[in-house]
Amino acid sequence: MHGILRDEGKEFYIQEVPHAKDEAVLAAHSLHQTDEQHAREWHSGFEIVEQALPPGLTKVVARRVLFIGKAVRVLKHTTTSSERAGENNLPKLDTRQWAAALRGLKAKASLERLDFERVVERMHAQAAEQLWQLVTVRAELPQHLAALKQYSLLSRGDFYQCFLLESRRMLQLPPRMTTVNTELGRLFQHAAQNSSADSDCFFSNVCIRFAAPVHGSDQVMHKYNALFRHLLRLKRVSMELETAWAALGRQLARHAGAQHAQQLLCQARHNMTHFISNLQIYMQVDVIEAQSCELSKQIAYARDFKDAETAHEAFLTSLVEQSFLDMRPLTDNLEAIYVLCLRLCSTVQHNAEAVQARESTGALDGRAAEICSDFRRRTAQLYVLLQSNTLQAPQRVPHLRQLLLRLNFNQFMEREAAEFARIAEKGQNEEKPDILVIAE
């Protein structure tokens, strides 16, 4: 009820996790806990010991008791810019009601399980409502979720456009682990100064000052990180293809000697851009924007903290499922296509440098043909995979169809698959001339 656990004999069914004890001692000597300390305490600071549960007490009720204790700790220790710690976060009326209800249970000759569960349920509902008020009204949860969308899900395009332009050279080299964090921090700050993020109060603290500790468990942040990696890689490939387009245009205008190979690269770059652009539209519009709108509706309709937490978990789960990040065959194929796109961009860059240095570009024809062939093969494999029964789980079918609709715009993938099949069949026929003669 007071958010304090005093159990030296370790007889209570809720125990403090060992690794959290030292942090709790340190936090007790400071006025405020940091967001990181709040996060660790909320998600992993306490646990239920099933062996210590009293007879008749279910694990569901025990989890509610644990939630009440954690909520009271957060409500008492959280401060805002205009309030002292705990003031107005947990009204005294609620705690007096809780104390009276518990004393009433204690005064009875025998403890009825249903009476105890009703008291716990009432306390749980009141704690969840107060926590909800703190998260949504005082901590501005909707604005923080919008910031997560802009920075973790790359919806603020101009910022990442600047960042990828600034970091292009660095991303082409192997990372230097000793300085990578410093370099990235400097590049992020520089990109913010040259984009709309410079005036955004959420840029320097994208993770929510209060709500992130509650919502930002390791599992949640793992999903955000996986989505961020995929979206940033997609954005980087798109920008590299734009750079390759400009370089190829200059080469075609100035040097006609290797025109056939450059035309092959131009065609391959055009097809790659078509594919990557439509994949970006699917990710940002069909998945992220659609699910963000649904999350906003659920948050608006929510009446307590548990409703908001459930809505956010459903939002992240939908993003991962509709991005197909949990489907290894599909993600491996997409990763191979990204590698091919970067290979083409690297080939264009090296060719431009060779022409400028008046070096031989004789191997360009072979590299261009190989890239075109590999991209057509990977596209055909992805087209077959998207139509196969392997991925056709009932909950995925609508999203697979939407992804296929985007990628197959103007029958692009269908034509690529047909062309790949035609070339493969022609190659097989050319490899077996003697068999054909005998058959005649």
Q: How far apart, in whole angstroms, are the C-alpha atoms of residue 356 and residue 337?
A: 29
Cβ distance 198 to 139 under 8 Å? no
φ/ψ region of 177 (left if φ > 0, alpha if ψ in -120 to 50, else beta) reads alpha
> What integer is the mean pLDDT of 352-367?
67
CA atoms within 13 A on the CB side of 194: 13
Task: For residue 100, give every residue at least 6 positions away whose Cβ sits within 8 Å of its Cβ, in sequence order, or none.
Answer: none
Cβ distance 78 to 210 under 8 Å? yes
pTM: 0.78
What percent of the chain has a predicted confidence (pLDDT) above 70?
81
Q: How far apart, in whole angstroms, are the C-alpha atoms of residue 4 and residue 77?
A: 12
Structural domain boundaries in the chain: 14-138, 220-431
Long-range contacts of 112-117 (CB under 8 A, 24+ apart): 113/56, 113/57, 116/61, 117/61
- pLDDT confidence bin for 243, thresholds 50/70/90: very high
> What integer is the mean pLDDT of 387-406?
85
pLDDT tens-place string over residues 310-328: 899 999 999 999 999 989 9
pLDDT tens-place string over residues 64-102: 988 888 888 888 776 444 444 445 566 655 778 888 888
pLDDT at 207 over 80: no
Tell whether the torsion through CA atoms of 295, 301, 305 and 307 is positive or negative: negative
